Structure 1
């Protein structure tokens, strides 16, 4: 297993319960696919560098986890089809 970081930006107009539900959902996807969630940092609402889908702010979440190499494509696929995720970026952390 390798260590990864995924930073994703959620829509700012979501209710706190919906935001928390999405964070828990993505954490659950990691664990159900044999991975291990190390840390989840919610940075909160911050201003975007440029407007995305008519939003000037976004709710930032940084998730660090261990997973197999083919898992990241599945996580990104789920984020891509979710209308609540504005942007995401996954990086492999060097040890």
Structure 2
């Protein structure tokens, strides 16, 4: 099993239900590809050091996951890039 840390930021100008639906969608992508979520934290809204896509803040989320292969990570990356509510995302392989 490979261990990964994922952080993503959701845009600040959407309703709370949209934020929750975005998070559920991204969690479903991971679990559908047989990744196990070992840690899930909502870090709240934080100010950026600089503007990202014309936003000055965003809702931060942190996940630690275990996955057998990188299929879940590749799909998460693909969906995060497509979803207009995700401002930025980062995936770190903790095993390296």
**TM tier relative to shorter chain:** over 0.9
Question: Which whole-Å deviations, capped at 9, do the CAs of 1:32-51 have from their partners, x for residues lacking one?
Answer: 11111111111110001110
CA distance in 2, matches of 1:35, 1:21: 19
1:26 paired to 2:32: no
Instruction: Look up the SS of the partner of 2:65 in the other structure.
Output: strand
**Partner in structure 1 of residue 48 of structure 2:** 48
**Partner in structure 2 of residue 88 of structure 1:** 89
Q: How far 1:30 moved relative to its partner?
A: 1.0
| Count of paired positions | 95
**Partner in structure 1 of residue 63 of structure 2:** 63
Q: How far 1:16 moved relative to its partner?
A: 1.0
TM-score (norm 1): 0.92
Question: Which whole-Å deviations, capped at 9, do the CAs of 1:7-43 have from their partners, x for residues lacking one?
Answer: 0011001111111111111111111111111111111
Q: How far 1:54 moved relative to its partner?
A: 1.3
Instruction: Look up the SS of the partner of 1:87 in the other structure.
Output: strand
Give the RMSD, CA atoms, in angstroms: 1.3
TM-score (norm 2): 0.91
CA distance in 2, matches of 1:3, 1:78: 20
Q: How far 1:69 moved relative to its partner?
A: 2.2
> Gaps spanning 5+ residues in structure 2: where?
none
> Gaps spanning 5+ residues in structure 1: where?
none
